[in-house]
Structure 1
Amino acid sequence: MNADDLSWQAGTYGGLAPLKVTLLLEHGHLDLVMRAAQERGEWFCAERAVRELCRSGEFGRALEVMEPFVATGWRAALWAKAEILLRAGRMDEALDPLRLDEESRASPGVCRAVAGLLARTGHVDEAVDLLVPHMGESRTRTVLVEITEDKGRDGRVLELLAPHAETARRALDEGRWDDSRSDALELQAQVWERAGHAGEAIRVLGEVVARRRFLPEDTLTAYAELLARHGRLDELREPATGKDARALLAVYAGALRDHGRGQEAERVMREAIAADDWVGHRSWLSTALLRDGRLDDAIAVAEPGFSWYDCSNLLAPLVLSLHDRPAELLRLLDHPLTVPHHGHEEFRHEWRAFALAQLGRVEEALAVIEAHPDPWADPRIVGAGLLSAAGHLAEAAAALRDLGTVEARQNLFEVLVRQGRAAEAITLHPTVAEQRAAARAKTASVPLREDGYSVEPPF
C-alpha cells in the first residue's frame, strides 16, 4: 500500500469500488470488509468499515483499520483518522494531524475542509470560527450555510451573511452586478427559510427578481422553487407561463401536481409545447405521463425527440425510467414510433437483451447479443450479465470463471456475493495492482490522435 495506489483508487473508483463494498455490508459482511482493507489495501473498504464502526461507537477498532493508511502519509487517510478522533471526543488529538498552523488557517480550502469535518462531528462553533476570516469568498459562504443546517446556528449565519448581502444590494442599486457577492442574497434567503421565516426569504429574493437586469437563471429558479415550496402558486403562475417558461414552467407544473392538480399541470405543459416546442417541456411531460402509467401518451410526447442528438435525445430517459419494468420497456422498444438512438443504435440491443433476461427469456436475450456482437468489447461478459439478471447465477459464475480476465473477475464479484460466497468473491476480485496494470495496457493499446484523444470509440 502506498499513497499513489490510494490516490488512484479514490480517483478511478478502483479496487473494491463503493457499490461493491455496499453490497458486502448489505449482506452483513463487515468483518470481510475490514479484512479486505487490512490485507489488500482497499481504500473504500477502509472508509466504509470506519464509518460502520464509528456508528456503533467502536472508535478503537476504527483507528486500527485506518492506521496502515495513515502511515502512507496520504492526506485523505490523515483526515479520516482526525474524524474518528473527533467522533470519539478527542478533539486536541484530532486537530494535531490536521496541522492547523498559521499557514493552514490562511488557506480557504483547508479551512473549508476542516470546518466540514468539525461540523459533522458536532463541533459547529469551532467550524464557524474557522470560516469567518474567509467569508469574502463565495465558496466559503456556501459551505457555512451547508454545514450549519439544522444545527441551531441560523442567527449567527445571518449575521455573517448580512454585510455581504448588503454589498450585493448596493451594487444592484447602482445598476451593476457584484460577482464577488452575487450569491449572498440567495444564501440569505435560504437561511431565512430554514429558520422558519419563509416570508422574509420570499421578500429577499423577490427584490432581486424584480430588478431583472442582472438576474442569473439560478436565482430565478431558486425564487420559483421557494414560492412552490410554500404554496404561492398564484404568484408563480405569471413568470412560469411567460417569457421565463423554459426556466420555471417545470417548477410550476411540478407544484401543481404536488397539490393534486395534475390535469392542470399537463394542460399548461401541452400549451407550452404548442407555443415553444422545446425539448425541456417535452422531457418533463413525458416523464410525468410515464409516472402516471400512461406509456403510450409518454411515447407520443417524447417521440419527436427520439432522434435528437446526445443530451437532447428523449428515448434514453424513458428507458432509464423503465429499467425495473421490463415488460413496458419492451413495449417502448417495439413501439412503431420508437427509432434507434441516434448514433448509438447498440444501446437499443442492450436494452432489449436485459429486458428479455429480466423476464426470464434468457435464450432470446442471448440471441440478441449474438446477433449484434460488434458494440461489445467482450460479448461473453455481456452474456454472463444476462444470465445473472435472469437469476441463473451458477451459469453466470461459470462463464465468468472460464474467461478469467480482469474484467470478468470484476463482474464475477457480485454474482458470488449473491450466491453467498462473499469471501471467495473478494479473493478472486482483481487486486489494485492488477487493475492498474490492465488500465495501463488498455491505454497503451489504443491509437491516439495528435490531440491525445482516441481515434476510435469510446473517444
Structure 2
Amino acid sequence: MDLTHQLEDREQDLDAARSANRGLITRLSMSVGASTLSYMSMDDLVWQASNFGGLPPRRVDLLLEHGHLDLAIQAAAERSEWFCAKGAVEELCRTGKFAQALKVMEPFVVTGWPTAVWAKEDILLRAGRPQEGLDLVRPEEAGRTSKSECHDFAELLVRAGRVDEAIEMLVPHIDGWWTLSVLVEITTGQERDEQVLELIAPHAVSARQARGESRWNHPFSNAQELQAQVLERAGRVDEAIRVLGHDIAGDHYLTQNTLTAYARLLARHGRFDELRELATGQNAHTILDIYAGALRDHGRAKEAETVMRDAIAADDWVGYRAWLSSVLLRDGRLDDAIGVAAPGFGWSDCSNLLAPLVCPLLDRPEELLHLMEHPSVVPHYDHEEFQHWWRAFALAGLSRVDEAIAVAEAHPDPWTDLRIVKAGLLRTAGHLDAAAAELRALGTIKAREELFEVLISQGQAAEAIAVHPTVAEQRAAKPKPKPVLLSEGGYSLEPPF
C-alpha cells in the first residue's frame, strides 16, 4: 500500500474514533443524568467564570494535552462549558484555524456576555481582521465608558497598530495610578517614550511633594517609579537611577513599592555599591533579598549566601530564613535548606517555613518524605492535617500505598471525604483502576470531578467528560448562604460583623 492510501486509511480511522467518542459521550451523559444539549445562559456563564465551574481550566488543559481538542469543542457546544470553549479557541488560534475558533465562540457571544464578546474580538484581531474586532467592542460615548473598558480598548488599539489613538483615548482618563500604569504598559516598545514621559512628569513632581505635605493618599503614588521605568526603557539608565535615587535619599516618595522599584533598577544594572548601602539599616527587611538575588544573578552565589547567613545571625527575621532556604532548595541542597528553615517549622501560619519547602517537592516523593521525617516537623496550630497529608502523599508517591492510606485513616482531613483522599493516594501510587472504582462507588459531585482526571490518565477521555458533573449539578450542590439578619443601617446583627 502506498503512503497516500495509508494516510487516507489513517484519516478514516481517526474519523471513526471521533464518531465513537461522540456517541460514547451522549450515551454516558444520559446514564449519569446530564443533558447532552444544555440551554446556555449568561447567568450560568458568569457563575462558571467566577467559580471555576464546569470543567475548570486545569482539567481542560489536561484534556487538550492528551490531544482531545475535538472533545473539548463538543463539550463547549453540548454542555455550555466556558473553559472548554476558551481552551479550544486558544488551541485553534494557535494553529491558525480562526474560522473554526469563531464558530466555537459564537454561541457564547449570542448570550450577550461581555467576556465572550471580548474573546471573539481577540480571535478577529489574531485573524488579521482588526477593524471588525474593534467595532465589536468599541466603547460607547466617553461619559458612559467605564475605566476598565477604556483600558482594555486602548490595549486593543495598540495591538491593532493604532498607538496614537490608544494614547489619545487614555489621556482624558488619567486621574490616578491605574490609568497611568496602563499607559506605560501598553506603550512598551512602541517608540512613544518621550511622549509618555511628558505625560508622567507633572504627576511625578506632585508625588514628590506629597509626602512633605502628608498627602499619603496621593492618586499618583506610583508616578516616580513609572517615570524611572520609562527612562530606563528609553536607554536613559543613568538618569533613571539619578532621579529616583535622589527621591529615595530625600524620602520624597510615598510607598514601599517605589523603594523596591529603585532597588530592582540598581540590581538590573549591577550597581552593587549603591544597592548594598540601600540594603543596610532600616531598609534591610525590604531590600536585602533583592541585593542577595542580584549577587546570585551575577554569579556570586556564595557571597549572596554569606550575606543572608550574616543577616540571620544578626537579626533572626523570618524573611531572611525564607529566602535562603528557598534558594538552597533550588540549588539542590535539601539538607542545608532544612537546616535554615527548621527553626520556623513551628511558627504561626503566616510565617511558617515548612510549606515553602514542601510545595517544590510534591513531585519528588523521596525528598518530601525525608523532609517530613525531620524531627521539627510536628503537628501544630490546629493544622496537623497538612503534615499528615503531605506524609501520606509522599508515601503513595513511593508506592507505599498501604502505609499512606493508614496515615490518612489515622488522621482524617476534616474538609475532605476520606474516600476521596484514599482514591487520590491510590492514583498517586499508580493504582488507577482501584482509584476509579473508589470514586465510582462514591458517586458524589466531588468524586466525579476527581474521576475525570483518573479517566483521562487511563485514556478514556470521552467517558471522563460524560461523568464530570454539569454546571447545573455543581450549582445545585453548592451550599446556599444562610440569610443574615441586618440592622436598620444594613449591618449584620450576627458575628462576624
Give yes or no for TM over 0.5.
Answer: yes
Aligned to 1:135: 174
Task: Give the stretch that moved more between structures: 237-246 or 194-203.
Answer: 194-203
For residues 355 and 77 of structure 2, the distance between their equivalents in structure 1, rounded to whole angstroms, comes to 41
SS at match of 1:14: coil
Note the alpha carbon deviations across 1:334-369, whole angstroms, 9 max, x for none: 112322243200101100111111111111111111
Q: What amino acid sits opposite 2:82 in the alignment?
A: W
Compute the TM-score of the two structures, normalised by the length of structure 1. 0.91
Task: Give the stretch that moved more between structures: 8-17 or 328-337.
Answer: 328-337
Question: Structure 2 matches for 1:10-409, cutoff 5 A?
Answer: 10-103=49-142, 106-169=145-208, 171=210, 179-212=218-251, 214-373=253-412, 375-409=414-448
Q: In the alignment, is the contact (CA less than 8 A) between 2:221 and 2:254 conserved in 1?
A: no
Note the alpha carbon deviations across 1:265-314, whole angstroms, 9 max, x for none: 22221222222221111111121222233323322222222121111111
For residues 440 and 482 of structure 2, the distance between their equivalents in structure 1, rounded to whole angstroms, comes to 26
Task: Give the stretch that moved more between structures: 80-89 or 218-227.
Answer: 80-89
Give the greater-gyration-radius structure (CA). Answer: 2
Task: Give the stretch that moved more between structures: 260-269 or 422-431.
Answer: 260-269
Q: In the alignment, is the contact (CA less than 8 A) between 2:42 and 2:113 conserved in 1?
A: yes
Q: CA deviation at 1:439?
A: 0.7
Q: In the alignment, is the contact (CA less than 8 A) between 1:306 and 1:341 conserved in 2?
A: no
For residues 421 and 46 of structure 1, the distance between their equivalents in structure 2, rounded to whole angstroms, comes to 20
Q: CA deviation at 1:155?
A: 3.5
Given the superposition, is the C-alpha separation of residues 435 and 266 from structure 1 closer, same or farther in structure 2, using an over 3 Å criterion?
same
Q: In the alignment, is the contact (CA less than 8 A) between 2:378 and 2:384 conserved in 1?
A: no
For residues 231 and 159 of structure 1, the distance between their equivalents in structure 2, rounded to whole angstroms, comes to 28
Q: CA deviation at 1:376?
A: 4.6
Given the superposition, is the C-alpha separation of residues 99 and 293 from structure 1 closer, same or farther in structure 2, using an over 3 Å criterion?
closer
Given the superposition, is the C-alpha separation of residues 20 and 127 from structure 1 closer, same or farther in structure 2, using an over 3 Å criterion?
farther
Note the alpha carbon deviations across 1:209-261, whole angstroms, 9 max, x for none: 11125442111111111111111111111121222100001111111122222
For residues 132 and 77 of structure 2, the distance between their equivalents in structure 1, rounded to whole angstroms, comes to 23
Note the alpha carbon deviations across 1:129-163, whole angstroms, 9 max, x for none: 32121123210111112222234433332233233
Q: What amino acid sits opposite 1:408 in the alignment?
A: A
For residues 141 and 415 of structure 2, the distance between their equivalents in structure 1, rounded to whole angstroms, comes to 54
For residues 362 and 321 of structure 1, the distance between their equivalents in structure 2, rounded to whole angstroms, comes to 22
SS at match of 2:450: helix
Q: In the alignment, is the contact (CA less than 8 A) between 2:401 and 2:426 conserved in 1?
A: yes
Q: In the alignment, is the contact (CA less than 8 A) between 2:73 and 2:104 conserved in 1?
A: yes
Note the alpha carbon deviations across 1:351-403, whole angstroms, 9 max, x for none: 01111111111111111112222525311111111111122222211211111
Given the superposition, is the C-alpha separation of residues 134 and 282 from structure 1 closer, same or farther in structure 2, using an over 3 Å criterion?
same
Q: In the alignment, is the contact (CA less than 8 A) between 2:209 and 2:252 conserved in 1?
A: no
SS at match of 1:180: coil
Q: CA deviation at 1:53?
A: 2.2
For residues 161 and 14 of structure 1, the distance between their equivalents in structure 2, rounded to whole angstroms, comes to 42
Q: CA deviation at 1:20?
A: 0.9
Compute the TM-score of the two structures, normalised by the length of structure 2. 0.84
Q: What amino acid sits opposite 1:405 in the alignment?
A: T
Q: In the alignment, is the contact (CA less than 8 A) between 2:456 and 2:464 conserved in 1?
A: yes
For residues 232 and 479 of structure 2, the distance between their equivalents in structure 1, rounded to whole angstroms, comes to 51
Q: CA deviation at 1:104?
A: 5.8
For residues 171 and 444 of structure 1, the distance between their equivalents in structure 2, rounded to whole angstroms, comes to 46
Unaligned stretches of 5+ in structure 1?
455-459
Q: In the alignment, is the contact (CA less than 8 A) between 1:289 and 1:295 conserved in 2?
A: yes
Q: In the alignment, is the contact (CA less than 8 A) between 1:299 and 1:337 conserved in 2?
A: no
Q: What amino acid sits opposite 1:229 in the alignment?
A: R
Given the superposition, is the C-alpha separation of residues 70 and 374 from structure 1 closer, same or farther in structure 2, using an over 3 Å criterion?
closer
Q: How many residues align?
A: 450
Task: Give the stretch that moved more between structures: 284-293 or 397-406.
Answer: 284-293
For residues 211 and 62 of structure 1, the distance between their equivalents in structure 2, rounded to whole angstroms, comes to 55
Q: What amino acid sits opposite 1:430 in the alignment?
A: P
For residues 58 and 452 of structure 1, the distance between their equivalents in structure 2, rounded to whole angstroms, comes to 54
Aligned to 1:412: 451
Q: What amino acid sits opposite 2:172 in the alignment?
A: P
Q: In the alignment, is the contact (CA less than 8 A) between 1:350 and 1:369 conserved in 2?
A: yes
Given the superposition, is the C-alpha separation of residues 105 and 229 from structure 1 closer, same or farther in structure 2, using an over 3 Å criterion?
farther
For residues 172 and 413 of structure 1, the distance between their equivalents in structure 2, rounded to whole angstroms, comes to 56
For residues 372 and 213 of structure 2, the distance between their equivalents in structure 1, rounded to whole angstroms, comes to 57
Given the superposition, is the C-alpha separation of residues 293 and 174 from structure 1 closer, same or farther in structure 2, using an over 3 Å criterion?
same
Q: CA deviation at 1:21?
A: 1.1
SS at match of 1:136: coil
Q: CA deviation at 1:74?
A: 1.1
For residues 199 and 73 of structure 2, the distance between their equivalents in structure 1, rounded to whole angstroms, comes to 43
Q: What amino acid sits opposite 1:395 in the alignment?
A: A
Task: Give the stretch that moved more between structures: 288-297 or 408-417.
Answer: 288-297
Task: Give the stretch that moved more between structures: 168-177 or 416-425.
Answer: 168-177
SS at match of 2:279: helix
Q: Once superposed, what is the RMSD of the aligned Cα atoms?
A: 2.4
For residues 393 and 450 of structure 1, the distance between their equivalents in structure 2, rounded to whole angstroms, comes to 50
Q: What amino acid sits opposite 1:348 in the alignment?
A: Q
